[in-house]
Amino acid sequence: MAGIPIVEHILKKLEKLDTINEIIIVTNNKFYGHFMVWLNDYSCSKNVKVINDGTISNDDRLGAVGDINYILKNQEINDDLLVIAGDNLFGFEINNFLNHFQQKNSSLVALHDLKDKEKIKNKFGVAILCDQLSKVIDFEEKPAEPKSTLAATACYVFHKEDLKHVEAAVENGKADNPGDLVKYLVKESEVHGFVFDHHWFDIGSMEGLKQAEEVYRKL
């Protein structure tokens, strides 16, 4: 569940983009009411929906990929889909991300080069790209011995032709988390990476949250 300040931060980025025609925020039953109160007072040039995935605890939660699959079915989406997890804070321009998607015409994952395998091992998903190209040829989920320093962030564009693979991955038990889904898509379709050097923080941990606070306080 994304905190409301983070959601507003992301919305401000999305609001500027002509290619975005609708924004869907997914939350659980515990926080749904809070988001609806917030949405009633929030002004946005885009159509914004808050969707309750119906879960109430960690025991019945759908997980990130489960929520994506839920929205695909619940909202009957049949278009290219930009997905941004609410525990991400990043400095790259989303428009550049979407432009790269248009150039490659395939599903896309944002990658941050941590330049040190020690910072990645057992912590982040890792993408291996084809030499001189941005095509993802392999993906490792939190490896003990990572093959690259490209950490996967929870920012994706799923090509509309790949949406069927999302449902298949969930039904086949191949997508417990976003990294598993990327690995599945690499085998079943084509995925490219968008490598950025701007700041990125995984604020799902206290360490990441504190680092983000220090940077954003200066912005």
What are the residue boundaries of the structural domains of the chain, listed by start?
A: 1-61, 86-216
CATH class of 86-216: alpha beta
What's the pLDDT tens digit per position in 192-207? 999 998 888 877 666 7
What's the pLDDT tens digit per position in 78-122? 999 999 988 888 989 999 999 999 999 999 999 999 999 999 999
Is residue 149 within 8 A of residue 124, CB to CB? The reply is: no
Nearest residue to 115 via CA among 124, 104, 102, 103: 124
Rounded to whole angstroms, the Cα distance separating 26 from 52 reads 6
Rounded to whole angstroms, the Cα distance separating 76 from 68 reads 12
What's the pLDDT tens digit per position in 116-167? 999 999 999 999 999 777 999 999 999 999 999 999 998 999 999 999 998 8
Rounded to whole angstroms, the Cα distance separating 188 from 61 reads 26
Whose tokens are 């699959």? That residue is: 69
